[in-house]
Amino acid sequence: MMAKKEKIIASTVVLAVIAVLVATVLFSSRDRASEGGDETLVPEPKAGKVEKTKTKRTPKASKSKVEVVVESETGSEEDDSQVPELTEEEKQEAEESRLVEVFDAETDKWMDSEKTSMPTMDEINDFRDKFRALPENRKDECLHRALNLLPDENIMLLVGILMDKTENKEYVELVYNDILNRDESVKKPILLQIFKDKEHPCWADTAWILDVTGEIQKK
């Protein structure tokens, strides 16, 4: 009898243990199934998908940069528009300065007689034309500069101004007086040229000088 009871108890214990084991297995399987379902619903992102995510974000950054560039360009245009244009007076001053620079550069070209040959008639006329183009209020300073810089060998450049009857008498006389202070070999041919033109503003002075020096009688 006792043996039978022990068998029953042993069987009961075995069944209980089996039941616990089955329950544990079922519970573990359910948990793994649940975790597997999560992985299926939310898969781990692959490298390709991460790049796609970054690509989707790029337009937002680009758009922001474009807006910044547009705003910058707009600001630049506004800055340019704020720069005042030159007035007519300023434009005129700039043009006058340019003409002075042109004439001074022409004078400088003839400063060194060793580097230049005797000016031709075309060069003499060109020098005169550049002087004519000067603004009236700058002619005096430019002419004084030329008289101080031009050597005797190139003094013929000034003949174009000296013989220009349309030029202001003040500048003609300025050239004339400078030539009188030059070497005799330089001024004599020029005085004889003036003496041929009785309408020249300096003719009377030239006739007197040639008469005193006896050049008229020699002729």
| 162-194 pLDDT per residue, tens | 999 899 999 999 999 999 999 999 899 999 999
The predicted structure's pLDDT at residue 23: 57
The predicted structure's pLDDT at residue 181: 93
Instruction: Evaluate whether 143 touches 131 at the Cβ level (below 8 Å).
Output: yes
Query: Where residue 80 falls among pLDDT bands split at 50, 70, 90?
Result: low
Domain check: are 30 and 99 in the same one? no
Instruction: Evaluate whether 93 touches 125 at the Cβ level (below 8 Å).
Output: no
Domain check: are 26 and 114 in the same one? no
- Residue 85 clears pLDDT 90, i.e. is over it: no
The predicted structure's pLDDT at residue 39: 44
Domain check: are 119 and 188 in the same one? yes
Instruction: Evaluate whether 164 touches 128 at the Cβ level (below 8 Å).
Output: yes
Could you tell me the residue range of the domain that residue 1 belongs to? 1-34
Task: Tell me how many degrees the CA angle 6-9-15 measures, rounded to the nearest 5.
Answer: 140
Instruction: Report the chain's mean pLDDT, rounded to a whole number.
Output: 76
| Dihedral, CA of residue 130, residue 136, residue 138 and residue 143, to nearest 10 | 60
Instruction: Evaluate whether 159 touches 123 at the Cβ level (below 8 Å).
Output: no
For tokens 């007076």, name the residue: 89
Q: What is the pLDDT of residues 2-59, one digit of tens each?
A: 555 555 655 565 555 555 555 554 555 455 544 544 444 444 545 444 444 444 444 4
Percent of the chain with pLDDT over 70: 61
- For 206, the token pair is 């030239």
Angle subtended by helix axes 136-149 and 121-132, to nearest 10: 140
Domain check: are 202 and 104 in the same one? yes
Average pLDDT over residues 103-121: 92
For residue 188, tell me if it sits in a domain.
yes
Domain check: are 13 and 96 in the same one? no
CA distance 143 to 67: 60
Domain check: are 17 and 118 in the same one? no
For residue 205, tell me if it sits in a domain.
yes
For residue 56, tell me if it sits in a domain.
no
For residue 201, tell me if it sits in a domain.
yes
Instruction: Evaluate whether 192 touches 210 at the Cβ level (below 8 Å).
Output: yes
For residue 79, tell me if it sits in a domain.
no
For the chain, report the end-to-end CA distance as a whole number of angstroms: 183
Domain check: are 29 and 122 in the same one? no
Sequence letter at residue 71? E
- Domain total in the chain: 2
CA distance 71 to 85: 24
For residue 66, tell me if it sits in a domain.
no
- Residue 63 clears pLDDT 60, i.e. is over it: no
For residue 131, tell me if it sits in a domain.
yes
Domain check: are 114 and 198 in the same one? yes
For residue 60, tell me if it sits in a domain.
no
